Structure 1
Amino acid sequence: MDALVDLQHVNVARGNNMVLHDLSLRIEAGEHVVILGPNGCGKSTLLKTMTCECYPVVRPETQVSIMGRERWDLTELKRRMGVVSAELPGRQTLTTSAFDAVLTGFFSSSTLWPNLTVTDAMRAKAEEILVLVGAEALREKPVGQMSAGQQRRVMIGRALAGTSLDAKAGDVKMLLLDEPSNALDLGAQHDLRELLRGLAQKGTAILLITHHIADILPEMDRVVMMREGRVIADGSKQELLTANRLSELFGREISLSERGGYWNAW
């Protein structure tokens, strides 16, 4: 089976600044991986490279393959790789109900524009997904009237809608999450993590980008550490989630504890 993501010797510039430096990373199907690093280390640029929003500098040694392909129609790729960004939903999405917001995932659109045709199969699938993410009670509520935690559930449902209609709800190739716990209170963070655990246990591959140690799910066995646009470590939680490693990564003395499969740092 082709790797979900295979990046070899990738350099990415944004404006006049080189953000990623000779970065290589391979993620296999079914893996649950966390990309961990301080703010400004290039994590979000790496995510945008995976979704073909950023393109690497052309060099002979550079290779980029996503799900076994080097070229993609971006709309199709967004549906296949469900992306939940750190930003709040856009203006058009804020006036859309939860049910319609999930439906937009089939079209990778911000709202249900008049030219889009929603089929009965799509509607049935959206109902399944609302149940899957625990947002069925929000069905008719506009996204802009929801709490940040409720919005995050709906945006995860929207990302999941990119699956084929023949698949079961949640059966996606990969779910990519960029700082998913931002702007969430402690209760909403807990609910989000339990939701993601359920998706991981149902077979959804999850790639999590974060600087919060507590976001790392018990189901995630692999940690990729980034600093200054480079991968500085790639291994298991047992190997890399140590006080010494984290202190080196974040440039501060850090203490670490584990409880119930989750890690906390201070």
Structure 2
Amino acid sequence: MVNKFWFEAKKINCFKNGYRVIKNLDLKIANSENVILIGPNGSGKSSLIEVINRNIYPVMANESSLKIFNNELIDLWELRKRISTVNNDIKNRINPNLPVFDLILSGLYGKYGYISNKSERDHYKVESLMENMNISSLSKKCFSYLSEGEKQISLIARALINKPNILILDEPIANLDYKSKFFVIDKINELIKSNTKIFCVTHDISMITKIYDRVIMLKEGVVIADGNQKKIINSKNLNKLYGIDVEVIENNGFWIIKRLSNDNYKNSDSNSSKN
């Protein structure tokens, strides 16, 4: 029987620099789901990605367990084939003069530079992927000449070249202007046509679109809400998540936050002055 979950955590706790960043996490993510994890800065989102990628390890106890693709003993090489992660740190590793075609092709070899011995099959894979993603026009452009949105999509294409089961997107629209932000969101939405499932991590509610079957809210290392976005995205949950007084509105499949008051800042300032 094929296990339907690619990630299964039971009561795991994780520490970084002596601080508990994941607290008693119970979480299962199905192979069939596109999932978005949302939370404020410092909520433990990046730490959860590190757990998945085996960069940090939970403190195991009798009642705790962690399985990825149904395995507790995880082969890192196998994991890298099945999960691809795109984060903003990757941009710093890339030669600014590297053409987009070669950047994407380098993903076949687990590198970030020019590959000298390219086969016809490699060429075909890259051309087909770029055509499917409608980014063939970027092929010969050097990485440094791309817009921030184009850079992000090029990195996502590189991550997809090996056809992973899961694509992890870590803050894919952080620091983008509105044009680049919408470009990236639209391209990510188009990826639903592929068999790759998306696990997107963000603090920005505008990233949540119809392609996501499930929304998970994380605050201070704890899941505070989890389920269908129609059920989970509401003013009460967002007020709890961000600690601010807001109203959330759905508009043509997108979510918009409206600020209601700044009393929480006043209370915070008042409390800090007393301490």
Whether these two folds match at TM > 0.5 is yes
| C-alpha displacement of 1:93 | 4.2
* Cα distance in structure 2, aligned partners of 1:247 and 1:63: 32
| Equivalence for 1:166 | none
2:113 to 82, 88, 111: 111
Task: Find the residue that maps to 1:105 and give its secondary structure.
Answer: helix
| Equivalence for 2:216 | 224
| Equivalence for 1:47 | 49
| C-alpha displacement of 1:75 | 4.0
* Cα distance in structure 2, aligned partners of 1:7 and 1:206: 18
| C-alpha displacement of 1:76 | 3.7
**What are the equivalent positions in structure 2 for 1:145-160 lying under 5 Å apart?**
145-160=145-160
**What are the equivalent positions in structure 2 for 1:114-153 lying under 5 Å apart?**
118-153=118-153
| Equivalence for 1:260 | 252
Between Structure 1 and Structure 2, the one with more helix by share is 2
* Cα distance in structure 1, aligned partners of 2:181 and 2:195: 21
Encode CA deviations 1:108-167: one digit per residue, 9 max, x unaligned. Answer: 2222466xx54332221111111223321111222122111110010000110122xxxx
Q: Contact conserved, 1:34 with 1:223, CA < 8 A, in 2?
A: yes
Gaps of 5+ in 2: 259-275
| Equivalence for 1:33 | 35
* Cα distance in structure 2, aligned partners of 1:155 and 1:202: 16
Which structure 1 residue ranges, 4+ long, deviate > 4 Å from structure 2? none
Residue identity in the other structure for 1:198: E
TM-score calculated relative to the size of structure 1 = 0.89
* Cα distance in structure 2, aligned partners of 1:7 and 1:106: 30
Residue identity in the other structure for 2:88: A
Residue identity in the other structure for 2:128: E
* Cα distance in structure 2, aligned partners of 1:71 and 1:234: 27
**What are the equivalent positions in structure 2 for 1:1-266 lying under 5 Å apart?**
1-2=2-3, 3-112=5-114, 118-163=118-163, 172-266=164-258
- In structure 2, relative to structure 1, the CA distance for the partners of 1:140 and 1:74 (3 Å cut) is farther
Aligned CA-pair RMSD = 1.8
Gaps of 5+ in 1: 164-171
Task: Find the residue that maps to 1:57 and give its secondary structure.
Answer: coil
- In structure 2, relative to structure 1, the CA distance for the partners of 1:22 and 1:93 (3 Å cut) is farther
Encode CA deviations 1:222-247: one digit per residue, 9 max, x unaligned. Answer: 11111111111111112110011111
- In structure 2, relative to structure 1, the CA distance for the partners of 1:157 and 1:39 (3 Å cut) is same
Alignment: residue pair count:
256
Deviates more, 1:117-126 or 1:256-265: 117-126
Residue identity in the other structure for 1:51: N
* Cα distance in structure 1, aligned partners of 2:61 and 2:111: 33
* Cα distance in structure 1, aligned partners of 2:126 and 2:160: 9
Identical aligned pairs, as a percentage? 29
Q: Contact conserved, 2:11 with 2:25, CA < 8 A, in 1?
A: yes
Encode CA deviations 1:3-28: one digit per residue, 9 max, x unaligned. Answer: 12112222111122111111121111
Structure number with bigger Rg: 2
Deviates more, 1:15-24 or 1:153-162: 15-24
Encode CA deviations 1:24-70: one digit per residue, 9 max, x unaligned. Answer: 21111120111111110000110111111221123223322222223
Q: Contact conserved, 2:225 with 2:237, CA < 8 A, in 1?
A: no
- In structure 2, relative to structure 1, the CA distance for the partners of 1:200 and 1:24 (3 Å cut) is same
| C-alpha displacement of 1:256 | 1.2
Q: Contact conserved, 1:134 with 1:153, CA < 8 A, in 2?
A: no
* Cα distance in structure 1, aligned partners of 2:107 and 2:77: 10
- In structure 2, relative to structure 1, the CA distance for the partners of 1:9 and 1:108 (3 Å cut) is farther
* Cα distance in structure 1, aligned partners of 2:98 and 2:74: 29
* Cα distance in structure 1, aligned partners of 2:42 and 2:92: 23
* Cα distance in structure 1, aligned partners of 2:150 and 2:209: 20
| C-alpha displacement of 1:72 | 3.6
